[in-house]
Amino acid sequence: MAGLNNFSKDQIQQAGHRYTPGVDPEAPNLRIESLFSAIENVACGEGALARFQSMLDAFSEAWANAQHSSQRRDALRARLDNARAFLSPMMKRLRQCDATAGDEWSDRVAGIEAELLADMAYWRTEESKLLPVDRDTEYSSARNSIRGHMNAIGRCLAVVRDEREYIQSPAFKVLFDPKLLVSGEWGTGKKHLLCDVTQERISRNQATVLVLAKNFEGCVVAEICSRIQAGFTTDEIFDRFGELANESAGRTVFIVEGVNEGRRREWRDAVSALQLLLVDRPNIGLIVTCRIPFEPIAIAQEALEKFHKIVHYGFDDQEFDAQAAFFQYYNLPLPEVPLLDREFSRPLTLKLICQSLHSLVGKKLAKGLRVLPRDRRA
């Protein structure tokens, strides 16, 4: 493990100034939970389990207020207890790439939803039985009581429907088929994300291989393995990765960052080879990052189709929080008008702007803030 950790830490050091924490550990960044969740699911360890437990906790909280509105209290309690009991064996099966475990979880969630929909149908029927005066007047205690029951059931349904949507997502599918492609345009923070993930996993003693594609050429996979531990074949090294996973509650994660930055033909072959090495090794997960639109160029079509893809959009939907964090870190006043252009949701753009303004003072700083392109402000 020490040799593996040193290899990955060395790759982080070579990430350069674009990975700001490598230069300044206190530099700002925002954690994008949807991305971290997908990556945690490739590992299929404690983080993935915690997400399922959190979902059931949210449902239990809603159910505590809804159970007296249910006509199927015993059935729903039994289904909830069954779902909780299923989590531990499900995670073990998912780590062995057993897709049927995911299907069985989906069935359990669908069963809970069916019971809740039946409850909702019951209360709609009850509402239809009200006299017109109770249905149509502005205030009716009978109608309000029924609507209260429906709202309580509806909050439970909202949790379940979110889970049903999640089950259809790439983030869920990598639990049992751990091949994840993280795409994104330039400057959105892909390198930052994967270096952060690697640092965090190393701190938790979780086996992680981080490879910057730009650093390797030739027989890429063999070269990586020889640098991690000389004198062993590629198969022997990957068998050891599997053994390391068996020593923890989660997979070893092999990360290739910036496959589009490596030598094209060699890395196309390497990604296909890595997928083959994982076929009989369910305890190893693969994550590859690639800049849009180079995926079909950097990765062979057959290999590309085997990945589950998520997109890193930078700080989209968190622009204001990101601008506040970056401008505050560099001791800059916030712009009078928020920067709304999508380009300012890119971490790299924010960093470069703040660095360029940081050395300015007085009138020069004020002028610098004013000359931000007006068509990129509200």
Helix-helix angle 220-228:264-278, to 10 degrees? 70
> Which among 313, 293, 314, 312 has a CA at the least distance from the CA of 304?
293
Strand partners, 310: 182
Query: Residues 134-191: pLDDT tens digits?
Result: 555 656 788 889 999 999 999 999 999 999 999 999 999 999 999 999 999 988 889 8
Q: Which two tokens stand for residue 339?
A: 């920067």
CB atoms inside a 10 Å sphere around CB 301: 9
User: What tens digit of pLDDT does each residue of 65-112 get?
Assistant: 999 999 999 999 999 999 999 999 999 999 999 999 999 999 999 999
Closest among 195, 142, 179, 145 to 20, alpha carbons compared: 195
- DSSP-derived letter for residue 341 is S
What secondary structure does DSSP assign to 187-249, as a single string?
A: TSSHHHHHHHHHHHHHHTT--EEEEEGGG--SSHHHHHHHHHSTTS-HHHHHHHHHHHHHTTT
Numbers of helices and strands, H then E, in the chain:
18, 5
User: 325 Cβ partners below 8 Å, 6+ apart?
Assistant: 28, 29, 30
Rg over alpha carbons for the chain, rounded to the nearest Å, is 25
What whole-number distance in Å separates Cα of residue 288 and Cα of residue 272? Answer: 12
pLDDT tens for the chain, residues 1 to 378: 668 999 999 999 888 765 555 445 566 666 778 898 999 999 999 999 999 999 999 999 999 999 999 999 999 999 999 999 999 999 999 999 999 999 999 999 999 999 999 999 999 999 888 877 655 565 678 888 999 999 999 999 999 999 999 999 999 999 999 999 999 998 888 988 899 899 999 999 999 999 999 999 999 999 999 999 999 999 999 999 999 998 888 999 999 999 999 999 999 999 999 999 999 999 999 999 999 999 999 999 999 999 999 999 876 667 777 677 778 888 888 776 666 666 676 777 777 777 777 777 666 666 666 555 544 444
- pTM equals 0.85
Diameter over CA atoms, the chain: 86
For residues 5 and 14, give the distance between their C-alpha atoms in angstroms, rounded to a whole number: 14
301: helix, coil or strand?
A: helix
